[in-house]
Amino acid sequence: MRKVVFMILAFAGWAVSLHAQEIDQLKAQKAEKKAQIAALQAEVSSLDAQIAELQGPAGWQFGSTGTLGLNFSSFNNWVSSDAPNTFASTIGFSGSAFANLDEEKFFWRNSALLNVAKTKLDTDTEDGIDADYETSADAFGISSLYGHKLSPKLAISALGEYRTTFLSNFNNPGFLDLGTGATWTPINNMVVVIHPLNYNIVMSKSGTNYNSSLGAKIVADYGRQLPRGIAWKTNLSTFLSYKDISNLSNWIWTNSFSFNVWKGIGVGFEFGLKNNKQEAYNYKLKTDGLDPETFQIGDLSSDDNPLQTYWLLGFTYKL
């Protein structure tokens, strides 16, 4: 009888020990699974953040940036120069702003650009006659693009874009593009506009010779963060005239780079390229006193229609 009782007690102890070991194993497995779930959740959160960054925030997005370029120099009694008493200065500003709305079924993108500069050169500071500041850069533009999405990357769109000078000869000329077509947004921060139906309206005062025409409008806009914290923004806008593609077409390409140093303050560099044969033709008529009845835009040589360029280096401030 004692042996039976001992065997029962031994079996019971073994069963209890085995049960305790099983519980400990299950608890260890549970802790391991929880750790795996936490790791997977961290990966999911990281992927969600990357997706949100690529898709961009919903609703209205606003932003602006500006580059201020300053250059001053003065020489007194610098007799090794032909002009020993000279003062020169340039003050330039380039700024841009945007307001974009991106919804599930449509988007609306708006932007504005201003680039102005004044230059003063006095080659004789001793004659008592102070030189005046003259405009050396002058450009202003606004655009508004609305699109109804056919898919996440393709939309039917309408564009209005206006470009002119700001400090001098405002709206003389002024270029207004109104058109419709398609917009492609292959990746975040990239917009490609192709509008085969676009009317390029040129506004000017009497005495100048500009022609409006029907054509195609192509715009490409892209921005991204480059290595070492450098932000890059590029924009190409071109009009191809159906009436006279060689004489009435025009394009402008701008690029801006900025490096943030401290609390939105940084260093910026911007450069632009432009070709507009109608502007070159009217400049030729004005400077050479030519008669538009005898000298036509087709008579303009390549030397009289050079590639227009500008660049600006200075401090930036970003909101």
Question: So what's the pLDDT on residue 56?
Answer: 54
pTM exceeds cut of 0.85: no
Question: So what's the pLDDT on residue 143?
Answer: 95
CB under 8 Å, gap of 24 or more: what pairs does 182-188 form?
182/154, 182/155, 182/156, 182/157, 183/145, 183/147, 183/154, 183/155, 183/156, 183/157, 184/153, 184/154, 185/107, 185/152, 185/153, 185/154, 185/155, 186/153, 187/54, 188/53, 188/54, 188/55, 188/56
Question: So what's the pLDDT on residue 312?
Answer: 80
> What stretches in the chain show pLDDT beneath 50?
4-5, 11
Nearest one of 115, 112, 114 to 136, comparing CA atoms: 115
Question: So what's the pLDDT on residue 40?
Answer: 81
Coil, strand, or helix at residue 145?
A: strand
